[in-house]
Structure formats: structure tokens, C-alpha cells
Amino acid sequence: MRVSLVYRDELAAYDFGPAHPLRPERFTGAVALMRQHGLIGEGAMAVVEPQPAAEEDLLRVHDATYIAAVHEAGRDPRAFVPGHGIGPGDNPAFAGMHEAAALVCGAAVSAFQEVLEDRCDRALSLAGGLHHAHRDRAAGFCIYNDPAVGIAWALERYPDLRIASIDIDAHHADGVQEAFWDEPRVLTASIHESGRYLFPGTGFADERGGPHAQGSALNIPLEPYTGDAEYRNAFDSTIALAVRTFRPNLIVTQNGADALADDPLTSLGLTLSGYRDLVTRLAALSDELTGGRMVAFGGGGYAWREAVPRAWTILAMSLMECAVPNELTAER
């Protein structure tokens, strides 16, 4: 498989500060570990350096008033009056906020470009997967919704696309579901810890899509401590079946690593071996249905020092369809 890593060091500017749980080290550490394993460079993943998303790309998903507020928050964080979900708590203002978030969205657009223009089979944007941002507000550590920006860009340029967006983050992909709630060309499938226990409090089985796209949203809420076997069963019996029925010609995945058992913000029980099994199944599904075409994102993961870099190195290996060494899946 030809795999592109959409990455540049400046993506680490998306940083709410050292006390915030969403750390850029979750993906910079993953890239460093991938280099150690020889996954980047000649004969391996090609690196594609993204540019910031254009305003028109953001406007397909977000309101102009909200984008203006993000600009303002990043110009003078101390003077910014909290609003649009930006302020103390989950989404504190920081200098250069718009530029940093627009670069993450630009990485999403580049990933879709790479695949749809046949420069690679699969593209990986680890800094992205910020799936909670809404049309007019930030939420859940997410300023702009880069998967939604990328999908909207792709649909405008390739109107015959059918996209299956599969999200395995511990949190429900509420912002992506919302963006394509009434879009029959997009299936949004999310497997996550139940909203009865975990932010954002949505993602129940009766959320099925809008009036023109009934059945285009699929949600599998899980009980706390759900482990590998239950994940495997849910994927095989529900997600894979729904995606096969939908018949996509592109698969998009959000591969948050916060469903791992040692994540400090969630209560699920996935092991690294289970994570490997899950992302390997995602890659195999793309082989079966789309000729391997796939755009993959990072997402959440708050055991950022060791667990997330290992999980996303496993993800890269699954995209490349190479063997995963035991040292990456060993529980420590």
C-alpha cells in the first residue's frame, strides 16, 4: 500500500497549554516512534507537508461569525470575552488559535487530496480527528472539525463519492454526525463509551440520520470496561455489515486511542492488541470495498506519553499492511 503521512512540526502549535489533557506530544511522539521503526521515508510512508485550510474550506462546515471569533480569540487570548465555546475549561483561548486549527484542517484536506488524486492509497493525519467542533462553537478540545472539513471538501469536488466515516474514539463523533446528519452520501458510524457516562452525552442507537438520510448515522454506545472481544463482535456484526450495505468508495477513520484501558479520561477496556485487531479490520474493510482507499485520522488519547504513540504506530503499520512487533502490543 502507498501510504502518505500528512505532517509538519508546526501542527504542534495546536496546544492548549501544559496543564491541558490534549497534548500535542500524543502525535509528535507517535511520529518519533514511527521513525524509530523505519516507517517514514524512502520505501515507507511519504511525508506530505500541509498548508492551512482556506477560509472557503472552513465555511463549508463552520459559520463565518464563529470563524471570526476564533480569529479574535487567537489574536489576544487574555482580552477575549468567552463565547462560542471558547474560554476557561475545555477550550481555552491561546495565541494563534485560528492558524493552528486551520493547519490541522489543511492537513485533512491534503489527506483527501492525496488519496482522491491517486498519489497514494491511504493517507494519515495524526494531528487531526477533532470530531467534536460544531458549526458555531468549539467543544471537547476541538476548535474546527477537521474530518468534517475534509469530507465536505471531497464531496464538493467529487459529488459521486460515497464516504463511510468510522470513528473508534472513546467519545461519540457528535460534530461529524451533526455535519452530515442529512447527507445520504455519508455514513457516520461511531463506537464509543455511552453518553450516559461520558462527554458529549450523545451517540445513542436511536440517532439514525435526518429526513433525507435515514439510516446514515450508526451509533454503538458501550458500557464502561468494554474489552477486546466485545469490540470485535460489535465491529463484525454491526459496523462492517452496515458499511458493506452502504457500499462506499472511500473509507474515513478516526482512530482515537482513548478507548485503551489505561486512558485517564475514559472507562473502556481495550488493550493494545485489541486496538491492533480493530484498526487491522478497518484496513481490511477498505481493501474489500474501496480498493484500499482510506483517509485515517488520529483523535483523542490522554495517556499521551507512551500508550498513544504505540497505538498510532500500530495504526500506521496496519495502513501499510506490515507486521506489528510484539513490543508495541505488550501491556506494561
pLDDT tens, residue by residue, 65-76: 999 999 999 999
pLDDT band at 284 (very low <50, low <70, confident <90, very high): very high
Q: Cis peptide before 147, with omega less than 30 degrees from 0?
A: no
Closest by CA to 82, choosing from 74, 94, 73, 95, is 73
151, 115 in Cβ contact below 8 A?
no
What's the CA gap between 59 and 169, in Å, rounded? 25
pLDDT band at 39 (very low <50, low <70, confident <90, very high): very high
Q: Are β-strands 163-167 and 186-193 bridged in parallel, bridged antiparallel, or unpaired?
A: parallel
Q: Is the dihedral of CA 181, 187, 188, 190 positive or negative?
A: positive
Q: Is the pLDDT of residue 147 over 80?
A: yes
Q: What does the pLDDT read at residue 332?
A: 67
Q: List Cα–Cα distances, 303 to 58, 209, 257, 262, 310, in angstroms.
A: 30, 33, 9, 7, 11
What's the CA gap between 287 and 305, in Å, rounded? 32
Q: What does the pLDDT read at residue 331?
A: 79
Q: Which domains does the chain have, with CATH numbers?
A: 3-329 (3.40.800.20)
Q: Is the pLDDT of residue 291 over 80?
A: yes
Mean pLDDT of all residues in 157-168: 98
pLDDT band at 42 (very low <50, low <70, confident <90, very high): confident
Mean pLDDT of all residues in 100-129: 98
Q: What angle do CA 25, 316, 186 make, to 5 degrees?
A: 100
What's the CA gap between 192 and 162, in Å, rounded? 23
Buried b (16+ CB within 10 A) or exposed e, 181-198: bebebbbbbbbbbbbeeb
* Residues tagged active-site: 132
Mean pLDDT of all residues in 92-115: 98
